Amino acid sequence: MGTSKGTRSLTARVLLLATLWFGLALVGISFAISKLYRESAERGFNDLLRAQLYNVINAIAINDQNTLSGTPQLGDLRYAQPGSGWYWVVEPLGDFATPALVSSSLGVSGLPVPSILEAPFDRRYERFYDVKDSSGRRVQVAETEVVLDGEGHAARFRVTGNLAIVEEQIADFSRSLHVALAVFGFGSLLLNGLAILYGLKPLVRAREALGKVRNGEAERLEGEFPREIQPLANEMNALIESNLRIVDRARMQVGNLAHSLKTPIAVLLNESNLIDKQQGDVVRAQAEAMQAQVQSYLHRARIAAQRDSVLARTEAEPVLERLVRVMRKLNKDIEFTLTVDPADAKLAMEQQDMEEIVGNLLENAARYAKARVTVSVTPVEVEAERSPDPARKSWIELLVEDDGPGLNDDEAAKALKRGMRLDESMPGTGLGLSIVNEIVSEYHGRLQLMRGTSGGLRVRMLLPAVAKDHA
């Protein structure tokens, strides 16, 4: 299964987890605070009603006519406003035959009374419940029953408060709470994101330092890193040093092998001149083929050994000038033109590999050219999706073109095959272009054979370059 780019990013992963956790925490905190505030508001509302209830109890008595009397002064005008939801009621109980007393806000309207089972009294012989008045308002009721005299006359006392007041207070508080938490959450997430990005910045620096090493712009990871990342940088530097030692050892072994094979092959070539022509030609042809194959595989072994080396770099102009100068001496009837722009261009490859590929191409071009061979070096920009190595940003285009007969598409494809010779009349082993292609491929470059402007063969190579800022 594929993995999206976002989930592969450590920064995105940490930010996502932090955001999810912070969001859930804020929701939980909001719910808990709202619940606690509601409980506190309802408890305070009940305490207010209890205080008003006992104010009513203290204001009511039985007069000489054996009836309820008294005028509670609760200090709240809402108990005088009709239909306000703020009422008080005193109702006689049992055989105590006397009219009930009610607040002017309730008027002649009554309030429903739930049964003891629906709303039982507590240990203080009080109970709180909510009902709807005649206007449909929800009101909270504080109720108790009190014996008023020695003869056992009792009355039920009830005081109510409009629950809309409490709900409005709770709603206002919740709105303010949500706004505050939203601002706090957004600010905290922003600061958290900046902190995470700042905390992961050393990893970005380590990646950039490693990229410079890979592109041949530095020889080791340089810079100051936090103590959590410094061991990784030390291990990478140790790995680079170990890589260099392996490359040096491989080069030495390849050189030893080349020297050990050079003498036997030379003996075979000399001996082929001393035997019969027919047999000598066979021995000579096989020895030359063996020599070419050994040289080819030695090249491949050496390049494979150094392929993972990240420190190779070669100045293009001096190497090309030297090769072109040699070709001019060997081919006086052919004009060789060299253009290197910029003059300080550097290739991220070994000098002997560059000499090998350009030397092969110049020999091939001189063999088929009529009068002119051109060589040019220019930096190019390659889009990541079209790049042979997307991790590399710097590339150089090296062109070698002659004015010879050129190749068609089929011939160009065959020319890159090992040992394939398109013209048997010309000397050679058929390995030149194949070796060039292998070397270019080992450096993650690209080789193309096409027809040039003059009709001859144009060889276009895309080769890794050292960035100019670090050249």
Q: Three-state SS string across 75-135, please?
A: CCHHHHCCCCCCCEEEEECCCCCCCCEECCCCCCCCCCCCCCCCCCCCCCCEEEEEEECCC
Q: How many CA atoms lie within 13 A of 383 on its CB side?
A: 2
Three-state DSSP at 142 gives strand
Look up residue 247 and give its two tokens: 């490359």
**Residue 14, number of CB atoms within 10 A of its CB:** 16
More confident residue, 1 or 267: 267
Residue 84 burial by Cβ neighbours in a 10 Å radius (0-12, 13-18, 19+) = buried
Average pLDDT, the chain: 82
DSSP category for residue 136? S
The mean-pLDDT minimum among 52-56, 183-187, 287-291, 443-447 falls in 287-291
Positive/negative CA dihedral, 22, 28, 29, 30: positive
* pLDDT tops 70 at residue 410: yes
Residue 88 to residue 102: CA distance in whole angstroms: 6
Residue 452 to residue 401: CA distance in whole angstroms: 7
Positive/negative CA dihedral, 62, 63, 65, 68: negative
Instruction: Give the pLDDT band of residue 305 (cuts 50, 70, 90).
Output: low
Mean pLDDT on 13-17 = 82
The mean-pLDDT minimum among 133-142, 159-168, 181-190, 295-304 falls in 295-304
Mean pLDDT on 188-203 = 81
Q: What is the pTM of this model?
A: 0.49
Q: In sequence order, what are the residues at sequence separation of 6 or more whose Cβ sits closer than 8 angstroms to the Cβ of residue 398? A: 316, 358, 375, 376, 377, 460, 461, 463
Pairing label, strands 395-402, 446-451 = unpaired
Q: By the 8 A CB rule, do 87 and 140 touch?
A: no
pLDDT computed for residue 142 by the predictor: 94
* pLDDT tops 80 at residue 176: yes
Which residue carries 């997307």 as its tokens?
390
The mean-pLDDT minimum among 190-199, 214-223, 365-374 falls in 214-223
Look up residue 217 and give its two tokens: 């712009």
Mean pLDDT on 134-142 = 90
* pLDDT tops 60 at residue 424: no
* pLDDT tops 60 at residue 2: no
Q: By the 8 A CB rule, do 400 and 425 touch?
A: no
Look up residue 240 and give its two tokens: 């680079």
pLDDT computed for residue 298 by the predictor: 65
End-to-end CA distance of the chain: 42
More confident residue, 315 or 245: 315
Q: By the 8 A CB rule, do 103 and 80 touch?
A: yes
* pLDDT tops 80 at residue 423: no
Q: By the 8 A CB rule, do 427 and 363 touch?
A: no
Task: Give phi and psi for 158, each to the nearest 5.
Answer: -135, 135
Summarised one tens digit per residue, pLDDT across range 202-212 is 877 887 787 77
Look up residue 283 and give its two tokens: 């021995």
Which residue carries 């072109």 as its tokens?
324
pLDDT computed for residue 398 by the predictor: 94
* pLDDT tops 60 at residue 84: yes
